[in-house]
Homo-oligomer: A and B are copies of this chain.
Amino acid sequence: LKFELTVLGTSSALPTSKRNPTAHLLNVNERFFLIDCGEGTQLQLRKLKKPFNKISHIFLSHLHGDHIFGIFGLLSTYALLGRRNYLNIYAPKDFSTILDFFYKNFGAGVNFKIQHIPLNESSENKIFENKSMEVFSFPVRHRTPTWGFLFKEKDRELNMKKNLVKEYNIPVSQIHRIKKGADYFTENGDVIPNEQLTLPPYQSRSYAYITDTIWMESLTEMIKGVDLLYHEATFLEEDKKRARETCHSTARQAAIIAKKAQAGKLILGHFSARYKKIKAFEEEAKKEFYKTYIAEDGDIYEVPLVRAERK
């Protein structure tokens, strides 16, 4: 049961020889979620041997070119590969213009349904849900309407100890109740306490993606306790003024968000091409939040499956 993030691109608006424009791929138990789609995303997916035909949900934070110019090539490739599966694209409402342009000029051969789900302004909006997880969008503040995303596994039930099911001959009808915390009453009236029958559940895991925003302390509430936080750090604190002017964040600001949100790990990316030594971002952020990592193209971050403590 994987929960694994692959960072496909880590540059800001200007790519460099080592950093492609922004895109992330989240693998939750072999369901793949693409987040942003800068130029070259399909090429990165190929190079990193990702099963990109398994992507059915794409999340676009905003409509600046460095976050979306890869969408045309990806859609064209899906068409050429004969894709039939639907594709949901969660994106700002004006993405419809971009999609129209694509259909009109390059849409021949698209035999799959592309559904554009416009993001909305509510501060905690559930945009996707399946049996085991949920995705939320929340607005951030940039020069154009922009959103962050939170990917979160649902709480799991207690795990039955399988050998005891057999030993006590527990009927299937009871197992559902026990998994929710009930004790087991045997036919002759004995009570087997729940904690003897079950193991605590695996903790639900989560990933938050926050890019292209001015520093917003209020975001910490939304992402409280997140395991993996990606936060843009376009600038260093010495260029804090420039960060504010261009609606971006500094490494220190990102780290303060991580600290206040009690995140597990902080991943920094979207570095301005003006900085030659990216190490400085790590040093600056670590002063506020030690578990800070500098994202490089191709990096993989896995959140392991860990049992909760017995309450």
Contact = CB atoms under 8 A, between A and B. Distances in A.
A: interface residue count bin: 20 to 34
A62 to B, nearest CB: 12
Given A14-B81, A21-B73, A72-B72, 15 more contacts: A13-B77, A13-B80, A14-B80, A15-B42, A15-B77, A39-B39, A39-B42, A39-B70, A39-B73, A40-B43, A65-B106, A66-B73, A69-B72, A69-B76, A98-B105
A311 interface: no
A38 B122 CA distance: 38
A101 interface: yes
A303 interface: no
A87 to B, nearest CB: 17
B73 A65 contact: yes
Nearest to A13: B80
Total copies of the chain: 2
Nearest to A106: B65
A46 B13 contact: no
Nearest to A77: B14
A17 to B, nearest CB: 5
B63 A105 contact: yes
Nearest to A49: B17
A115 interface: no
A63 B97 CA distance: 19
Q: Which 8 A-B pairs have the closest CB atoms?
A: A39-B73, A40-B40, A65-B76, A17-B46, A69-B73, A17-B47, A69-B72, A101-B101
Contacts of A97: 105
Given A21-B73, A40-B40, A16 B46 contact: yes
Given A101-B101, A105-B97, A105-B98, A43 B15 contact: yes
A253 interface: no
A16 B47 CA distance: 8
Interface string A210-251: 000000000000000000000000000000000000000000
A81 B17 CA distance: 15
A20 interface: yes
A105 B81 CA distance: 29
17 contacts: A14-B77, A14-B81, A15-B42, A17-B49, A20-B43, A39-B39, A39-B42, A39-B43, A39-B69, A39-B73, A40-B40, A63-B105, A65-B73, A65-B106, A66-B76, A69-B73, A72-B72
A14 B74 CA distance: 10
Interface in A94-150: 97-98, 101, 105-106
Contacts of A42: 15, 39
Interface string A34-51: 000001101100110100
A272 to B, nearest CB: 11
A15 B77 CA distance: 8
